[in-house]
């Protein structure tokens, strides 16, 4: 009885806390709701509380906290209206409870019903296999052309799940974080939700590479006081000048996110201390829309009166906004103590668009000549969706291409502005104008100079496309094109051509079958695929049409009443390597591969791209023909594998007492000095149980870079060696060296 009473008190306390959470939601929506909206939001809350009353999250807390949090993100962090708040509160009810879409329509109307329907079609965690995972993402993007709020609520849902990921199993954390980094963070960026995109990327890094996350975060904390002092001194003269000019303004300092700092350290191969743009100064003007452009340039003039600008770092996204609606004026100036500082100048309206992205942009979309920058992008998405037969994974890859970060601005011969991704070629431009022009493109004139299809366009280029009615696309074109639209149209044309050739091959095979009294049935075709070692019937027909298949061999195959039979070969039992057989043997939710033990009679080996060592956090990846490969969880290929092919990933850990030598690769960077190579090789010679496999050094302008492969027992053994190198005079940095490109097996060719 005592326990029951205690539980009752806890439930009462929970009720109060749930009500407080809901009051918090009402507080952040007070400026966007009418009395009628308030009534509907309260009704949605009551329905959700009742529907989810017996459900709890992995953390043990009542499930209702999740929809309340998602609704709060929609209102507070995305600036969405009452309908989105209502739908966020109800977003899991139809999928997880007794509530039906008919109930939603009756209680909340047609608009809410459509949004909930869109959300219900997208399961939260993609799990079983690649085609389902990719198809789910395709379904979500389909909703872009119906109601963008579906995608925005889905992003809010994913953000809250990432914020509460600590209660999940570690393998789930890695899978969800990889998927988020691969698709959801770029999608948030493309929709202009920079704050959410940065937080998603930071949370992904926290779970995918906790060591890196903690390193950057601790360094940001330890340098915070010095940074704030510098920012105050830098901003003071600008503040005084703006006040004297009578501007109404706000100045903020925005520190770079942990993930973007880590990305920069990785891409530039520099330590934290050498990342110069740790923060940016943002000047936000409260000014009427018609004065935004002149006022922003006037402020630029004031800033550059005090600090010398870098002419190569001026970005004017006010005259030509980015494709996702972002508008701002960026410049980089030199501070008195020799540090470069980025200054962003924008209006209050522009800042709201930058912070809340698409939702804020739609509020203002009629403000500048009635044009909405997103309409063009949504048009591109519709182009992608035109091809219903397109493989779902192809769609995800092509869509990801559309989430490009940077744009260039090029012109038609008549001076019309076209926006393309950085790296776009003349072929991309041709398809951007019209599909037929792309398919018949033979070259172009850029600034009146003749260039090939592969020519990379730059900002400000004027492009005239040259066509020929005799031109036909070929496989090479896929190497030149980088936009999703161009690639999709080229693939469509090539498939059409392939199908024509396949039809010819099918006719040839049909005639041959009749000669030998063989029935044209799927069973016989499947047998021939196996016999001639091709993956699909279409490939078989194409090879026949091109004369690459010897049909005379049909006589050698057993024919029983028009049905072909292959003689069974007796094979010796061997360790399983084929991925289909491996999949049957493994329960991916329960099985953990113990490295050092025999595992279900399945081959496993260490991936050469990241060379895992005992002590590293690892996982197994089921390959097509090489059994299981062991990768580090921070391997450069891990995100792709876990996000695209989670169904082929398996938990793995090291056997406690496994004693074996493993290859480790190190990169050493420092100041070139006589004898430095001898000192490094001496350390390896004297280090206990370390043997060298290879060593190479390059020297340029007084700096050297060495690449060493050594045999070590585990990660801790390697760390001892790294410490010895680091204390050598002249050595600036020592790091493990991974090679993403090395794993060019059929798994990567097929999927990456």
Q: Using DSSP, how many helices (H) and how many strands (E) does the chain show?
A: 31, 22
| Average pLDDT, 10 consecutive residues per value, the chain (752 residues) | 43 86 88 87 91 85 92 88 91 87 89 85 52 60 68 90 90 86 83 87 93 92 91 93 94 91 87 84 94 95 93 87 82 87 93 73 43 57 57 62 65 82 91 91 88 88 89 87 86 87 90 86 85 83 85 81 70 58 67 78 85 88 85 87 81 74 87 79 75 82 84 84 86 83 49 39
Residue 403: per-residue pLDDT: 58
- 169 is a domain residue: yes
- 374 is a domain residue: no
- 257 is a domain residue: yes
Query: Does one domain contain both 141 and 108?
Result: yes
Residue 584: per-residue pLDDT: 66
Domain, as residue range, for 231: 217-363
Task: State which of 516, 533, 565 marks the end of a domain.
Answer: 565
Query: Does one domain contain both 598 and 528?
Result: no
> Beta strand pairing status for 628-632 and 691-700?
unpaired
Query: Does one domain contain both 98 and 229?
Result: no
- 234 is a domain residue: yes
Structure pTM? 0.67
Query: Does one domain contain both 187 and 317?
Result: no
- Here the CATH number for the domain that contains residue 292 is 3.30.460.10
Query: Does one domain contain both 627 and 669?
Result: no
Contacts of 374 (CB under 8 A, 6+ apart): 324, 325, 358, 361, 362
Query: Does one domain contain both 190 and 81?
Result: yes
Interatomic CA distance for residues 430 and 414, integer angstroms: 15
Contact 686, 678 (CB under 8 A): no
Residue 201: per-residue pLDDT: 95
**Is residue 96 flagged as an active site residue?**
yes
Interatomic CA distance for residues 720 and 724, integer angstroms: 6
Helix (H) or strand (E) holding 485: helix 484-515
- 62 is a domain residue: yes
Exactly one of 95, 105, 355, 391 is catalytic; which is it?
95
- 751 is a domain residue: no
**Is residue 95 flagged as an active site residue?**
yes
β-bridge mates for residue 652, sequence order? 593
Residue 301: per-residue pLDDT: 95
- Here the CATH number for the domain that contains residue 668 is 3.30.70.260
Task: State which of 614, 632, 655 marks the end of a domain.
Answer: 655
In 3D, which of 76, 141, 175, 275 has the Cα closest to residue 588?
Answer: 175
Task: State which of 363, 390, 407 marks the end of a domain.
Answer: 363
Query: Does one domain contain both 194 and 58?
Result: yes
| Long-range Cβ contact pairs of 211-219 (< 8 A, separation 24 or more) | 211/634, 212/262, 212/634, 213/258, 213/262, 215/272, 216/258, 216/261, 216/262, 216/265, 216/272, 217/258, 219/272
Per DSSP (E only), the strands in 660-701 are 662-671, 691-700
In 3D, which of 442, 419, 443 has the Cα closest to residue 432?
Answer: 419
Query: Does one domain contain both 65 and 177?
Result: yes
Query: Does one domain contain both 208 and 222?
Result: no
- Here the CATH number for the domain that contains residue 204 is 1.10.3210.10
In 3D, which of 446, 497, 436 has the Cα closest to residue 467?
Answer: 436
Query: Does one domain contain both 709 and 607?
Result: no
- 381 is a domain residue: no
Interatomic CA distance for residues 674 and 292, integer angstroms: 59
- 330 is a domain residue: yes
Residue 592: per-residue pLDDT: 81
- Tokens describing residue 170: 């570690």
Give me the number of domains the chain comprises. 5
Query: Does one domain contain both 162 and 26?
Result: yes
Instruction: Match 């109800």 to its residue by tokens.
Output: 90
- Tokens describing residue 98: 């007794």
Query: Does one domain contain both 17 and 90?
Result: yes
In 3D, which of 159, 141, 158 has the Cα closest to residue 150?
Answer: 141
Contact 327, 297 (CB under 8 A): no
Q: Return the SS3 of 450.
A: strand
Exactly one of 14, 61, 76, 96 is catalytic; which is it?
96
Query: What value does the CA radius of gyration of the chain take, rounded to a whole number of Å?
Result: 30
């Amino acid at each position: 009885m005592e326990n029951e009473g205690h539980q009752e008190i806890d439930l009462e306390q929970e009720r109060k806390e749930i009500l407080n959470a809901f009051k918090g939601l009402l507080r952040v929506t007070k400026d966007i709701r009418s009395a009628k909206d308030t009534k509907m939001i309260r009704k949605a809350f009551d329905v959700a509380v009742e529907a989810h009353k017996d459900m709890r999250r992995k953390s043990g807390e009542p499930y209702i906290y999740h929809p309340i949090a998602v609704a709060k993100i929609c209102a507070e962090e995305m600036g969405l209206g009452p309908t989105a708040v209502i739908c966020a509160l109800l977003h899991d009810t139809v999928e997880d409870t007794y509530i039906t879409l008919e109930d939603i329509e009756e209680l909340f109307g047609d608009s809410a019903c459509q949004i909930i329907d869109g959300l219900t079609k997208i399961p939260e965690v993609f799990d079983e296999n690649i085609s389902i995972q990719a198809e789910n993402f395709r379904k979500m993007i389909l909703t872009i052309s119906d109601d963008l709020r579906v995608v925005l609520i889905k992003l809010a849902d994913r953000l809250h799940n990432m914020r509460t990921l600590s209660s999940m199993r570690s393998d789930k954390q890695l899978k969800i974080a990889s998927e988020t980094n691969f698709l959801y963070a770029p999608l948030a960026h493309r929709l202009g939700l920079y704050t959410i995109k940065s937080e998603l990327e930071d949370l992904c890094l926290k779970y995918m590479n906790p060591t890196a996350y903690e390193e950057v975060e601790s360094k940001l904390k330890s340098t915070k006081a010095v940074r704030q002092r510098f920012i105050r001194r830098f901003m003071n003269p600008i503040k005084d000048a703006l006040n004297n000019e009578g501007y109404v303004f706000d100045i903020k300092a925005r520190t770079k996110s942990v993930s973007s700092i880590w990305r920069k350290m990785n891409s530039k191969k520099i330590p934290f201390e050498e990342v110069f743009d740790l923060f940016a100064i943002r000047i936000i003007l409260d000014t009427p829309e018609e004065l935004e452009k002149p006022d922003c340039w006037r402020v630029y003039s004031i800033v550059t009166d005090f600090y010398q600008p870098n002419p190569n770092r001026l970005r004017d996204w006010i005259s030509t906004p980015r494709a996702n609606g972002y508008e701002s004026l960026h410049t980089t100036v030199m501070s008195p103590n020799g540090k470069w500082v980025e200054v962003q100048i924008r209006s209050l309206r522009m800042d709201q668009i930058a912070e809340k992205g698409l939702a804020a942009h739609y509020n203002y979309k009629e403000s500048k000549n009635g044009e909405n920058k997103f309409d063009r992008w949504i048009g591109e998405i519709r182009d992608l969706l035109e091809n219903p037969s397109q493989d779902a994974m192809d769609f995800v890859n092509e869509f990801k291409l559309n989430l490009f970060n940077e744009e260039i601005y090029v012109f038609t011969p008549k001076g019309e502005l076209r926006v393309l991704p950085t790296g776009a070629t003349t072929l991309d431009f041709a398809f951007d104008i019209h599909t037929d022009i792309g398919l018949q493109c033979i070259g172009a004139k850029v600034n009146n100079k003749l260039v090939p299809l592969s020519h990379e366009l730059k900002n400000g280029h004027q492009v005239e496309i040259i066509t020929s009615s005799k031109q036909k696309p070929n496989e090479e074109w896929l190497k030149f094109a980088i936009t999703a639209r161009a690639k999709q149209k080229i693939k469509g044309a090539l498939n059409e051509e392939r199908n024509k050739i396949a039809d010819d091959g099918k006719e040839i095979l049909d005639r041959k079958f009749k000669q030998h009294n063989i029935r044209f049935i799927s069973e016989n075709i499947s047998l021939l695929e196996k016999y001639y070692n091709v993956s699909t019937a279409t490939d078989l027909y194409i090879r026949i049409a091109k004369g690459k298949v010897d049909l005379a061999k049909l006589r050698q195959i057993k024919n029983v009443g028009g049905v072909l039979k292959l003689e069974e070969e007796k094979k010796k039992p061997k360790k399983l390597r084929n991925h289909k057989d491996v999949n049957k043997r493994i329960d991916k939710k329960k099985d953990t591969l113990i490295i050092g033990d025999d595992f279900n009679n399945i081959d496993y080996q260490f991936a050469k791209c990241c060379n895992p060592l005992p002590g590293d956090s690892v996982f197994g990846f089921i390959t097509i023909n090489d059994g299981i490969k062991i990768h580090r969880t921070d391997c450069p290929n891990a995100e792709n594998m876990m996000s695209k092919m989670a169904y082929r990933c398996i938990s793995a850990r090291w056997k406690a007492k496994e004693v074996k030598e493993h290859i480790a690769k190190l990169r050493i960077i420092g100041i070139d000095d006589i004898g430095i190579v001898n000192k490094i090789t001496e350390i390896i010679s004297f280090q206990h149980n370390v043997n060298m496999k290879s060593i190479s050094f390059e020297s340029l302008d007084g700096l050297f870079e060495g690449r060493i492969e050594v045999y070590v027992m585990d990660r801790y053994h390697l760390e001892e060696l790294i410490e010895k190198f680091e204390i050598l005079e002249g050595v600036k940095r020592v790091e493990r060296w991974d090679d993403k490109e090395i794993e060019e097996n059929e798994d990567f060719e097929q999927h990456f």
